[in-house]
Amino acid sequence: MNSEKIVVYPGTFDPITNGHLDILRRGIDLFDRIVICIAANPAKAPMFPAAERLEMIQEALKEKGLNGQVKVETFDGLIVDYAQELGAIALIRGLRAVSDFEYEFQMALMNRHLNSHLHTVYLMPKDEYTYLSSSIIKNVARHGGDIKRFVPAGVERRLIAKYNNPEVE
Ligand code: COA
C-alpha cells in the first residue's frame, strides 16, 4: 500500500499571492506531496487565463525554492474527482477570517458528500496575510499602489504590465 500522503491545494489563483504561498509552506511541513490545482469557480471571471496563472505559480515556486516539492496543474471538473485520480487524502485550504467560514464549510461538506474519504484541512496564514485576496491585490495594482510585500516578483511584474496596457480593461 502506498502510504505517501498526497494533498491537493485547489483555488482560482488569479493571481497567486504570498498568502497562498504561506499556506503552501505550512502544507509542505505536514504532507509528503502537494499538488496545486487551478480549478474553475463559475462565479469568477479571472483576469489571467489558466495557462498564465499556472506560469505565474511555477515562477513563484522557483523564486521561493519550492519547485522541487510542489506540482501545479489545471483541471476542469469536480475537485473531488481530480483528488481521487491523484490518490490524494485531502484538500488543503486557507482560512483567513470568520468571513471565509460559511463558504468553506459549505464547500467542505459538499465535497465530503461527493467523496466521504476525502478530508479538507484548513490552515491559517500569517496574520499579515489575513486580509489579503487576489481581488484586493488587483484593485491596488490597478491604481498604481505598491503590492511588492504581498505577491511574488513575477506577479507584480505582470500586474504592472497589464495595468499599463489600456487594452486590459
Ligand atoms: N492568501 C491570500 N488570499 C487568499 C488566501 C490566502 N491564504 N486564501 C484564499 N485567498 C483568497 C483568494 O485570493 C481568493 O480571492 P478572490 O476572491 O479575490 O479571487 C479568495 O480568497 C478565495 O479564492 P480561492 O481560494 O481561489 O477559492 P475559490 O473560491 O476561487 O476557489 C474552488 C474555489 C476553485 C476551489 C472551487 O470552486 C472548486 O473546487 N472548483 C472546482 C469544481 C468543483 O469541484 N466544484 C464543487 C465545489 S463544492
Answer whether residue 25 is part of any domain.
yes
The predicted pLDDT at position 158 comes to 96
The predicted pLDDT at position 1 comes to 55
If phi over 0 gives left and psi between -120 and 50 gives alpha, with beta otherwise, what is residue 144? left
- For a mutational test of ligand 1's pocket, the pick from 35, 38, 79, i.e. the residue with the most ligand atoms closer than 8 A to its C-beta, is 79
**Atom of ligand 1 at shortest distance to CA of 77?**
42
Percent of the chain surpassing pLDDT 90: 89
Query: How far apart are alpha carbons 15 and 61 in whole angstroms?
Result: 13
- For a mutational test of ligand 1's pocket, the pick from 41, 47, 107, i.e. the residue with the most ligand atoms closer than 8 A to its C-beta, is 41
Query: How far apart are alpha carbons 90 and 119 in whole angstroms?
Result: 4
Answer whether residue 97 is part of any domain.
yes
Q: How confident is the model at residue 98 (pLDDT cuts 50, 70, 90)?
A: confident
Count of structural domains within the chain: 1
Average pLDDT of the residues in 61-73 = 93
Q: How confident is the model at residue 164 (pLDDT cuts 50, 70, 90)?
A: confident
Answer whether residue 1 is part of any domain.
no
Ligand 1 contact, 47 CB (< 6 A): no
Nearest to 119 by CA among 102, 129, 130, 107: 107
**Residues forming beta bridges with residue 85, ordered by sequence position:** none
The predicted pLDDT at position 167 comes to 57
Active site residues: 20, 44, 96, 134
Answer whether residue 144 is part of any domain.
no
* CATH code where residue 99 lies: 3.40.50.620
Answer whether residue 158 is part of any domain.
no
Answer whether residue 90 is part of any domain.
yes
C-alpha cell at 146: 505598491
CA 102 to ligand 1 center in whole angstroms: 13
Q: Where is pLDDT greater, at 100 or 126?
A: 126
Strands 90-94 vs 6-11: parallel, antiparallel or unpaired: parallel
Answer whether residue 149 is part of any domain.
no
pTM (two decimals):
0.95
Torsion angle defined by CA atoms of residues 139, 145, 150 and 156, in that order, rounded to the nearest 10 degrees = 90
Answer whether residue 49 is part of any domain.
yes
* Structural domain for 98, as ranges: 6-131
- The length of the chain is 169
